[in-house]
Structure 1
Amino acid sequence: MKDISFNEAVDRSVQIRELYHQLERKHHEKEWTVEEDALAFLTDAGLVGRLTMSQQGRWTMKGETMPELEHKLGECVWWLIILSERMNIDIADALDNFLSKTEKKLQA
């Protein structure tokens, strides 16, 4: 397993999204909106649910579950990075704030 830094993940995610934007402009004359990106994330998150059920033996799906589940989990992280970038939210700060707040709640 390769260990990449969070900052590297953000940088690579933004670069990949720009390549997708180029394809969107080429094939559809305009980039997806933030709302369309959010819908794509939700679609992939739903697939994570089905794939998880399949991996746990509670749902039958065609094909190999684990490679697709791993891909969709990574894609969901990617989408969260992209959504935060497009809405001018520092995802690293958001994660740190969430973790700190949640730790305080649970330790109280």
Structure 2
Amino acid sequence: MDLDELKHQALRIHTLYDRHNQRERGRTWTRTDFMLGFMGDVGDLAKLVMAEEGTRAMPGGRAALEHELADCLWSVIVLAHLYGADLEHAFTRTMAELEEKLTKGHPRESPA
């Protein structure tokens, strides 16, 4: 699945959540609500990583870790949409900047 397909699926779920929240709570999530939800997911992810590393007990194992990673990716895609950010362009630009910074003055490593 490419990024456009991920975005399409993520935004479809976003729309379904909007409908659900409107029906159940009388309002949809704001951008701040999405950010706070993302922070909660990152906290859950941190606990699951600790469990994966053996420093904490958490139910769910690998499946829970993968679920939380997917939740975090969904949140990033939705937040990018809500703020009008071109995630693909921003990612490509940021990776190029990081690569330049990390390889400056060092010969490029050849792929294995």
In which range does the TM-score fall when normalised by the shorter chain? over 0.9
Give the superposed CA RMSD: 0.7
Residue equivalent to 1:72 = 68
Q: 2:88 aligns with which of 80, 85, 92?
A: 92
Give the TM-score normalised by structure 2: 0.90
Q: 2:37 aligns with which of 35, 40, 54?
A: 40
Q: 1:16 aligns with which of 13, 18, 21?
A: 13
Distance in structure 2 (CA, Å) of the matches to 1:5 and 1:30: 32
Gaps of 5+ in 2: 105-112
SS at structure 2 position matched to 1:32: coil
Report the Cα offset of residue 40 of structure 1.
0.4
| Residue type at the aligned position of 2:74 | W
| Residue type at the aligned position of 2:103 | Q
* Bigger CA radius of gyration: 2
Gaps of 5+ in 1: none
Report the Cα offset of residue 15 of structure 1.
0.7
Give the TM-score normalised by structure 1: 0.93
| Residue type at the aligned position of 1:54 | A
The runs of 4+ residues in structure 1 deviating greater than 4 Å are none
Distance in structure 2 (CA, Å) of the matches to 1:46 and 1:94: 25
1:55-93 deviation per Cα after TM superposition (whole angstroms, max 9, x unaligned) = 1101112x2221110000011011000000000001111
